Structure 1
């Protein structure tokens, strides 16, 4: 199924989603429209992806769209966009990536709207990672998933967990990048050439994740298998247990969630 998409806002997150969907041929340049206030952004999107971009909304394209994306900033007048959608009798799906604006707030403009709110993942270019999704009962799940699955996986969550999802799930690659850097540096410190250390670290990370998924075992079980009495693994484990390794990750996640909530309050003007 090829979707007709129209986005209000053409920022980097919208671009990343559209780029992945175009790559998967879920959408086409001819049936993808974007409006953005920046002429530089309009020209860039047109030249790069050959989509239909302009500074003023194309309401004919909006009315024909299967899915309208709200990709504007929280401080922008998204309420006016919703009123215009009502005025143009648009009654299909609206997908919002506006931080801090709830499904209830979006729905309050007009009860006919099929609303989906998402927190997009940051791994769209490899079509992996979960996007956190909240929808009302009018949303067309098939349309939403056809689009979202083009750049990753879909995780339907309670709206109260969106801040946690952001600080934990969306920021998740950052924690993995930090581990990969530290693990590579450890190999270099031990005497291994950096290129080889990075190659081994990346393969260990990839293979360990695959083994956890395929085996269905808890990671603690796999550690127990690897850590023979008096051996190399248990000796390394002892040092990790003495360090702040686990607490450091936990504290980073809690700090990220806290910051997400702070930014949400700022966006609401609280």
Structure 2
């Protein structure tokens, strides 16, 4: 079976490992994690039965770079010397470009830059994936498709779109959670018990999303179907139209995208901050 080495055992790494093992697509015996934090490695080993390692020269089919952008990622990458000539690197380091990774590598192997979705346990959500022209064909390999489809869907993008993807798609659940919280509060304000308001809101979110998917209708068409003249629904929409709801949502996305770009620029113009000396020799 395919072997995967995660360099960095943080929250996103764990969120990816969890469905890989739960769906039995990968064996825990073939998942290795390297991290400078021993307690984190012990936790992951005890929780998922994966293989902790201090080595970064493992014979892995996929190496996932999951260190933080402020850590010494360049030094870690320079030490990568995969024994497997067909190894593929997947970087989930925020703000670090494919070009930067290629410059730090001492071996010529394909590099994929990915922005994983945060809905990894649900099989929903897109992971944004980019690579350079030279390595583009590797994204279509079964090995890569299997990896990303284990925790959602794969969307191949130009690298220039990854910042927008991050602010819109990866941050997207935030907007849904906030809407859900607000609509539940609205139900409570109107007089429903919170538990009932929650159950109704969840059912409506699922149902409305499925209606959009199945009907393939424009939302306005569904709104027209759902609202009779001078009825309850259209009166509720009238009040919503008088609010700043749509513009506020759009501003939220724009702000998230702007911040993603800012973080990338900070990482681009500043050298990695010295932290604890890496032990992965």
Report the TM-score, using the length of structure 2 for normalisation.
0.89
Moved more, 5-14 or 101-110: 101-110
Q: How does 1:1-270 map to 2 (within 5 A)?
A: 2-54=1-53, 56-57=54-55, 59=57, 62-63=58-59, 65-86=60-81, 88=83, 90-108=85-103, 109=105, 112-136=108-132, 137-138=134-135, 139-140=138-139, 141-269=141-269
**Deviation, structure 1 residue 148:** 0.8
Moved more, 134-143 or 201-210: 134-143
Q: Secondary structure at the match of 1:192?
A: coil
Moved more, 115-124 or 221-230: 221-230
Q: Secondary structure at the match of 2:52?
A: strand
**Deviation, structure 1 residue 83:** 2.8
Partners of 2:11 and 2:249 in 1: how far apart? 28
Contact 2:9 2:35 in 1 (8 A): yes
Report the TM-score, using the length of structure 1 for normalisation.
0.92
Moved more, 130-139 or 13-22: 130-139
Partners of 1:208 and 1:254 in 2: how far apart? 25
Partners of 2:191 and 2:163 in 1: how far apart? 42
Residues 45 and 115 (structure 1), Cα distance of their counterparts in 2 relative to 1, 3 Å cut: same
Where does the alignment leave 5 or more consecutive residues of structure 1 unmatched? none
**Deviation, structure 1 residue 84:** 2.6
Q: What's the C-alpha RMSD, in Å, of the aligned pairs? A: 1.7
Contact 2:131 2:158 in 1 (8 A): no
User: How many equivalent pairs are there?
Assistant: 265
Q: Secondary structure at the match of 1:74?
A: coil
Larger relative contact order, structure 1 or 2 (CA cutoff 8 Å, min sep 6): 2
